[in-house]
Chain A
Amino acid sequence: MSEASPAIQVQNLRKIYGDKAAVDGLTFTVPRGCFFGFLGPNGAGKTTTIKMLMGLAPPTSGSIQLLGLPMPDRALDIKQLIGLVPDESLLFDHLTGGEFIEFVGRIYGLDRSVARERALELMELFELEGNQRKLIAEYSKGMRKRVAMAAALIHRPQLYLMDEPFEGVDAVGARLMKEILLEQVRHGATIFLTSHVLEVVERLCDRVAIINEGKLVQEGSMAELRGASDTLEDAFVRAVGVGRGTETLDWL
């Protein structure tokens, strides 16, 4: 693993389902230590891309390198170095938050006592200590996201892959999570996240890529992307195009 290699390097990545290309020739690079926003409208191929990066879906063609290691050839080595927050629930409902975080820590090779100690500290950091004895099944959506993020942090990964990490999280929780993620970047970690909340991406990310219908339509620093536009939202709408417009149905 070369320290000089980018955190993520994707070359001509394609994923075909039936006769439809969910991801169509995607090429982009995420430098190390970068907070990278991966944007696109619904059905653009964001989740499929992140699933391929995580190793959950094999690409039809193209190549992926994470932290200088080829995926899926070095999948086990890569998995050891990354932290994941997928969009769907990754949590076992009949464990408590602390038990789940400890479980993840031990899966990633931490000693039992270390995993337990870190799990308790993370529960405290994410303000979940009052729910120590509650099962995850009883958690709210926001609390579940906090547990998922806490679990992603426990083995101190070098690269985070996050699919909609702030979805369903209240303002206090979102702020807390953002601060923690920024702290990770300051310590040299790389974060690759997808989000529909453009204000969040605008505040957090150094670089942004926008995809539409499986193809990369724009990539660059936040300033480059915004260009003459006032906000990232304007740049995003310009990049993906406005569909129906503002007309409404006659009967509505």
Chain B
Amino acid sequence: MRNFYPRAGAGWTALIGSLWYGFWLVAAVAGCRLVADPANLGLVKSALPGAMLIIFLYWQVVPLLMAATGASLDLRKLQCYPIPPSQLFAIEVVLRVTAGVEMILILCGVALGIALNPALAAGDALAVTPYILFNLLLAVGLRDLLMRLLAHKRIREAVFFLLIMAAAVPRFLIAREPSAASQLARFFTSDSWIGWPWGAAASLALGLHVWNAAGILAGWTLAAAVFSRWQFAQTLSFDRESAQAGDGGAKPRQGMLESFYRIPSTLFPDPMAVLIEKEIRFLVRSPRFRLVFLMGFTFGVVTLLPISLGRGGGVFLGTNYLTLVSVYALLLLSEVCFWNSFGFDRSAAQIYFLAPLPFWRVLVAKNISALFFIALEIGAVTTVCALLGMPLGLVRLSEAFAVAGVVTIFLLCAGNLMSIHQARGVNPSTQFRSNAAGRVQAMLFIIYPVAFFPAALAYLARWAFDQELAFFAVLAFDAVAGIVLYRIALDSAVQAAERLKETMIAALSAADGPITS
């Protein structure tokens, strides 16, 4: 636990955790009250299968899409000890709780509501227990399978692309075929087939077809146990080094890529040029960064594009598609580009304190590299939009880049300070974070609204005055204010770095423990 929740930044972790899990606790209490009221029985009966499916999807899919699968055992460090594999497996199953705490809270709320509802048998509440076990076991198997697939350099990006495409399939279907929507909706209503684990869990919880539902759920849980045990055994004998050896996936190449790396040298003098160049080389070769970059690009395109082209997207999504995808890409990139910009450097970050250069240059170089990748990401999204024939006028293009630029300035202000005060070593070779997806989402919901506020003012001005000029004037003002704030935050970060460099280097140098990603 000390490894998973390091003391550095404990206050911040506690604040974010309290807000995030507090929100889910409130949701669980609301769910409990809803289910406990006999007057809502009809609603509960029709909605519970859908709720169980949403819980299933959140638990199994969201950690993969957020690239944060929670804590896990590092078996390479534990295999040398005489610990029976069955015990390691049991610990791994328990650790999967870290990826689904929110859903356990909700299920507990539902269970308590069933127990309190006089129209339902109190014992039916126990139905959530096998459903939790089923999800925990399945999560172990899926995580192990995915980790092994992603360890292969040549196929990891392809695997992730397929995953994203799979996530987008329902949206494509709805956009293409109106009847698909009603067919998909059946999964979320009382029409849902009892043979599905969520259908069986809902039936069992409502006291309907009890023996059938119990048998089906037990069968699914057993299948998940066999699958996860099999995947765990595969992971135990998996040779990561061998999987990563012998291909040239991340090997430095000459030619065009080398010219790409040298771009900063044509724009800046040393040492700024070499600092940016290093950052670009390093990030391009980091599997973790490549994954996030790919996600920012593809996930936004494949999930939002069908909505904007099809039904239900509305005028807003259609006209602001490029800006929305750009901002979404920015959010994903910010995790590696802003919040912990020394994380990938780990102990090597001490070179910035040993070398004869002022520390502000290092921060600015990292910020410029971040801007470079953000521009590249938005440029790629724009190109795809143009290829797909999306309406891309000069105003929309300017809007996307201007909004993303303004938000970036404010994110950089906070990011530079957090990179010093909350520095934490991150393995650039791992694709997934060891922290729970919930913490990442909490960051999105709590921190980002503040960073987006100045851009929101611009939209407010556009709405109030019904003029593009007002919109861009407010954005211009935001940019100036942001730059002033950036200078202040940069000075503060540099002073903090000088003061905290020992703590910072120690935090960045801390080796992974037996529980990691």
Q: Which of A55, A90, A135 contacts B348 (CB 8 A)?
A: A90
Main secondary structure of the interface of B (DSSP, over half): helix
Bound together, the chains give a CA A104 to CA B356 distance in angstroms of 10
Contact A88 B350 (CB under 8 A): yes
Contact between B356 and A94 (Cβ–Cβ < 8 Å)? no
13 A–B contacts from the bound complex (CB under 8 Å): A54-B354, A56-B501, A79-B356, A89-B348, A93-B428, A94-B344, A94-B428, A95-B282, A99-B281, A106-B270, A106-B273, A107-B351, A108-B356
- What is the CA–CA distance of A95 and B429 in the complex, to the nearest angstrom? 13
Give the residue of A55, A88, A99, A103 whose beta carbon is less than 8 angstroms from that of B353. A55
Q: Which residue of B lies closest to A76 (CB)?
A: B356
Instruction: Determine whether the beta carbon of B350 is less than 8 Å from that of A86.
Output: yes
CB neighbors of A among B329-371 (8 A): 344-348, 350-351, 353-358
Is B278 close to A, CB under 8 A? yes
Are A90 and B347 in contact, CB atoms less than 8 angstroms apart? yes
Our pick among B350, B429, B502 for the contact of A137 (Cβ within 8 Å) is B429
Contact B502 A57 (CB under 8 A): yes
Which residues of B in the span 137-193 have a Cβ within 8 Å of any Cβ on A? none
* A88 and B265 in contact, given A79-B356, A108-B356, A112-B270 (Cβ under 8 angstroms): no
Known contacts A99-B252, A103-B278, A135-B285; A108 and B355 CB within 8 A of each other: yes
A2 CB to closest chain B CB (Å) equals: 20
Name A96's contact: one of B252, B286, B344, B350 (CB within 8 Å).
B252
A125 to B16, CA, bound (A): 52
B residues touching A (Cβ–Cβ < 8 Å)? 250-252, 265, 270-271, 273-275, 277-278, 281-282, 285-286, 344-348, 350-351, 353-358, 428-429, 501-502, 505, 509
Interface presence of A28 (CB below 8 A): no
A109 with B278: CB separation less than 8 A = no
Could you tell me if A133 and B282 are in contact, using CB atoms closer than 8 angstroms?
A: no
**Inside 8 A of B345's CB, which chain A residues have their CB?**
92
Residue A84 interfacial (CB < 8 Å): yes
Interface centre among A56, A91, A93, A108 (most CB of B within 10 A): A93
Which residues in A have their C-beta under 8 angstroms from that of B251?
A: 133-135
Contacts of A84 in B (CB 8 A): 354
Q: Is A80 an interface residue (CB 8 A)?
A: yes
Minimal Cβ-Cβ distance residue in B for A75: B356
Residues of B within 8 A of A90 (CB): 347-348, 350-351, 354
Residue of chain A at shortest CB distance from B427: A93
Say yes or no: B501 contacts A133, CB within 8 Å.
no
The complex places the Cα of A58 from the Cα of B499 at a distance, in Å, of: 9
Question: What residues of chain A lie closer than 8 Å to B273, measured between beta carbons?
Answer: 106
B252 and A135 within 8 A (CB):
yes
Give bound CA distance, A92 to B349, whole Å: 8
Chain B residues within an 8 Å CB radius of A89: 346-348
Interchain CB contact under 8 A, B274 and A106:
yes
Closest to B244 in A: A138
Q: A79-B356, A112-B270 are in contact. List 18 more A-B contacts (CB 8 A).
A: A51-B502, A56-B350, A56-B502, A56-B505, A80-B356, A84-B354, A88-B347, A89-B346, A89-B348, A90-B348, A90-B351, A91-B348, A93-B428, A94-B250, A99-B252, A107-B355, A107-B356, A109-B271
Which residue of chain B has the shortest Cβ distance to A106 in the bound complex? B274
Bound form: Cα–Cα A96–B355 in Å: 19
Write the residues of chain A forming the contact surface with B, with a CB cutoff of 8 angstroms: 51, 54-58, 76-77, 79-80, 84, 86, 88-96, 99, 102-104, 106-109, 112, 133-135, 137
B289 to chain A: closest residue by CB: A94
CA distance in complex: A88, B429 (Å): 19
Complex-state Cα separation, A102 to B350, whole angstroms:
17
Bound complex: CA of A204 vs CA of B219, how far in Å?
Answer: 71
Q: How far is the CA of A11 from the CA of B353 in the complex (A)?
A: 23
B281 touches A94 (CB 8 A): yes
Question: A94 and B286 in contact (CB under 8 A), knowing A55-B354, A84-B354, A108-B356?
Answer: yes
Name A92's contact: one of B348, B356, B357, B509 (CB within 8 Å).
Answer: B348
Q: Which residue of B lies closest to A87 (CB)?
A: B347
Quick check: B282 and A94 within 8 Å, CB to CB?
A: yes
- Nearest chain A CB to B481 CB, angstrom units: 32
**Closest Cβ neighbor of A86 among chain B residues:** B350
Cβ-closest chain A residue relative to B283: A94
Taking CB atoms, residues of chain B closer than 8 Å to A107 are: 270-271, 274-275, 351, 355-357
> CA–CA, A56 to B505, complex, Å?
9
> In the complex, what's the smallest C-beta–C-beta distance from A187 to chain B, in angstroms?
21
Q: Are B354 and A79 in contact (CB under 8 A)?
A: yes
Chain B: minimal CB distance from A47 (Å):
12
- From A55, A93, A107, A108, name the one whose CB has the most chain B CB atoms within 10 angstroms: A107
CB pair B271–A106 under 8 Å, yes or no, is: yes
Nearest opposing residue in chain B for A161, CB measure: B354
| Selected contact of B270 from candidates A77, A92, A109, CB within 8 Å | A109
Checking B281, B354, B358 against A86 with a beta-carbon cut-off of 8 angstroms, the contacting residue is B354
- List residues of chain B with CB within 8 A of the CB of A135: 250-252, 285
From A94, A103, A106, contact of B285 by CB (8 A): A94
The reply to whether B278 and A92 contact each other, CB–CB distance below 8 Å, is: yes
Q: How far is the CA of A84 from the CA of B355 in the complex (A)?
A: 9
- Chain A residues within an 8 Å CB radius of B428: 93-94
Q: Which residues of A contact B250 (CB under 8 A)?
A: 94, 135
Cβ–Cβ contact B347 & A79, under 8 A = no
Contacts of B353 in A (CB 8 A): 55-56
CB closest residue in chain A, given B241:
A138
User: Chain A residues with Cβ under 8 A from B502's Cβ?
Assistant: 51, 56-58
Interchain CA distance A96-B345 in the complex, whole Å = 14
Looking at the assembled complex, report how far the CB atom of B478 sits from the nearest CB atom of chain A, in whole angstroms.
Answer: 35
Q: Which 6 residue pairs are nearest across A and B when measured between Cβ atoms?
A: A79-B356, A106-B274, A94-B285, A80-B356, A88-B347, A107-B355
What are the residues of chain B within 8 A of A94 when measuring CB–CB?
Answer: 250, 281-282, 285-286, 344, 428
User: A88's contact among B271, B286, B509, by CB below 8 Å, is which?
Assistant: B509
B288 to chain A, nearest CB (A): 10
Report the minimum CB–CB distance from B76 to chain A (whole Å).
15
Docked complex Cα distance between A84 and B350 (Å): 11
In the complex, which of the residues B252, B285, B357 contacts A133, with contact meaning CB atoms closer than 8 Å? B252
Residues on B with C-beta less than 8 A from A88 are: 347, 350, 509
Q: Are B282 and A79 in contact (CB under 8 A)?
A: no
Smallest beta-carbon distance A140→chain B, Å: 13
Q: A55-B353, A92-B282, A94-B281 are in contact. Are A112 and B252 (CB under 8 A)?
A: no
Q: Taking the nearest CB of chain B, how far is it from the CB of A85, in angstroms?
A: 10
Which single residue of chain B is at the shortest CB-CB distance from A91?
Answer: B348
Give the complex CA separation of A90 and B350 in angstroms. Answer: 7
B355 touches A79 (CB 8 A): yes
Write out the residue numbers on chain B whose beta carbons fall within 8 Å of the beta carbon of A133: 251-252
What is the CA–CA distance of A88 and B348 in the complex, to the nearest angstrom? 8
User: Nearest chain B CB to A84's CB is how many angstroms away?
Assistant: 5
Closest B-chain residue to A132, C-beta based?
Answer: B252
| Nearest CB in chain A to that of B274: its residue | A106
